[in-house]
């Protein structure tokens, strides 16, 4: 960390108010971006998908659970992996308790992966999650929505991820896709985001962004190298000066 200037409370308030101006500009820009996102055109989903879920086979229509909006968290978990992606689990820990709040606003959120359902269920139990998690092992959903890739695609080095803007070195990638269902039962794909576009959905990162150290990932082999599954972190050391006995 760079040395920081230490000032009086009055000087700090003035500096904070100057920064608040920039924060307000950012908030207003974000509001405009959200409006632009909602105004994007839609694509009608005509392809039939069947997912393996805890209540048996379910269609994409059934995943809405009677609501008009569906958010799909594309969770990286290939069929032969022994456990889910650490980074995707980081996101899942964040949205786990959001489900009832989203449901109150006519929105269902589910996770979908290519791993078989028993493997998903076992990992879900281990992590203590309660959200619906379905397997797309029997369909092309992950490939159609840009989060799974064939060995030939990866080997070719083609730009296959994030709307063709970058390559991806493994078979599974993270993402979020959003769908809308109208009164007639028609389903539309309205939005997807990948890569850094997923940051806005990670509350832990935004808390870290408020701190002096920030995410402090600069010297790591890759930014999320520090992330572990929630049950794999070592207990934090208690400072010797701590007054708790």
pLDDT in tens, the chain (245 residues): 678 899 999 999 999 999 999 999 999 999 999 999 999 999 999 999 999 999 999 999 999 999 999 999 999 999 999 999 999 999 999 999 999 999 999 999 999 999 999 999 999 999 999 999 999 999 999 999 999 999 999 999 989 999 999 999 999 999 999 999 999 999 999 999 999 999 999 999 999 999 999 999 999 999 999 999 999 998 754 444 444 44
Q: Judge whether 6 lies within some domain.
A: no
Number of domains forming the structure of the chain: 1
Q: Which helix (H) or strand (E) holds 154?
A: helix 151-156
Domain of residue 163, residue span:
43-201
- What integer pLDDT is reported at residue 239 of this predicted model? 46
Q: Judge whether 25 lies within some domain.
A: no
- Residue 210: strand, helix, or coil: coil
- What order of strands is seen across the sheet that includes strand 175-181? 43-44, 187-193, 175-181, 69-74, 107-113, 133-135, 50-53, 56-59
Q: Judge whether 64 lies within some domain.
A: yes
The rounded distance, in Å, linking the Cα atoms of 237 and 134 is 38
Q: Judge whether 7 lies within some domain.
A: no
Q: Judge whether 181 lies within some domain.
A: yes
Q: Judge whether 119 lies within some domain.
A: yes
Angle (nearest 5°) at CA 39 between 35 and 40 = 125
* Widest pairwise Cα distance in the chain: 65
> Residue 99 sits in a domain of what CATH number?
3.40.30.10
| Phi, then psi, of 13 in degrees rounded to 5 | -60, -40
Q: Judge whether 222 lies within some domain.
A: no
- What integer pLDDT is reported at residue 237 of this predicted model? 47
Q: Judge whether 5 lies within some domain.
A: no
The rounded distance, in Å, linking the Cα atoms of 4 and 158 is 45
How many beta carbons lie within 10 A of that of residue 174, not counting itself?
Answer: 20
If 0-12 CB within 10 Å is exposed, 13-18 middle and 19+ buried, where does residue 229 land? Answer: middle
The rounded distance, in Å, linking the Cα atoms of 129 and 161 is 28
Inter-CA distances, 217 with 26, 173, 210, Å: 23, 20, 15
């Amino acid at each position: 960390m760079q040395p920081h200037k230490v000032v009086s409370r009055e000087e700090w308030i003035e500096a904070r108010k100057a920064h608040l101006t920039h924060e307000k500009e950012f908030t207003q820009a974000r509001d405009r971006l959200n409006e632009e996102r909602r105004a994007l055109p839609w694509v009608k989903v005509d392809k039939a998908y069947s997912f393996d879920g805890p209540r048996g086979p379910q269609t994409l229509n059934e995943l809405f659970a009677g609501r008009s909006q569906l958010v799909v968290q594309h969770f990286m978990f290939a069929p032969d992996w022994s456990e889910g992606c650490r980074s995707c689990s980081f996101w899942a820990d964040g949205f786990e308790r959001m489900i009832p709040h989203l449901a109150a606003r006519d929105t269902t959120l589910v996770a979908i992966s290519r791993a078989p359902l028993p493997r998903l269920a076992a990992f879900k139990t281990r992590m203590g999650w309660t959200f619906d998690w379905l397997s797309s092992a029997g369909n092309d959903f992950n490939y159609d929505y840009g989060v799974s890739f064939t060995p030939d695609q990866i080997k070719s080095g083609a730009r296959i991820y994030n709307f063709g803007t970058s390559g991806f070195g493994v078979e599974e990638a993270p993402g979020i896709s959003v769908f809308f269902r109208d009164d007639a039962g028609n389903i539309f794909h309205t939005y997807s985001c990948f890569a850094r576009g997923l940051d806005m959905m990670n509350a832990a990162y935004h808390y870290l962004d408020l701190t002096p150290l920030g995410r402090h990932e600069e010297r790591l082999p890759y930014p999320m190298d520090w992330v572990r599954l929630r049950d794999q972190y070592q207990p934090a050391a208690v400072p010797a000066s701590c007054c708790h006995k």
